[in-house]
Amino acid sequence: MGNVEVTILGQQYKIKGDAPDEYIIELAQYVDKKIREIYEKSPNIAPLKASILASLNIADELFKYRKEQEELTRDIERKTETLVRLFE
């Protein structure tokens, strides 16, 4: 943990963090992949706009996963309540 050098769109960045280096590298690779997906669809897009669109796509994924997690948690809570009532 400490400083790790990553590459996003061919640019080197030094990232300082508490997470393991491998994890930071994995995150950077994911961000790079998402930005490159935008470039595949729109090759002439400005880098800032591509980065913003990639960020929105990543945020969308996060929100969808959070919603799924909340639904799973509610489902587990309902099933647990049902099982508890069976034993009362």
- Residue 40 confidence (pLDDT): 95
Structure confidence by residue, pLDDT tens digits, 29-72: 999 999 999 999 999 999 999 999 999 999 999 999 999 999 99
List helix spans (H) across the chain.
21-41, 47-87
Q: What's the mean per-residue pLDDT of the chain?
A: 94
Check: CB of residue 32 under 8 Å from CB of residue 8.
yes
Report pTM: 0.80
b or e along 15-24 (b: 16 or more beta carbons within 10 Å of the residue's beta carbon)?
beeeeeeeeb
- Residue 59 confidence (pLDDT): 98
- Residue 1 confidence (pLDDT): 64
Cα–Cα distance for residue pair 69/63, rounded to 1 Å:
10
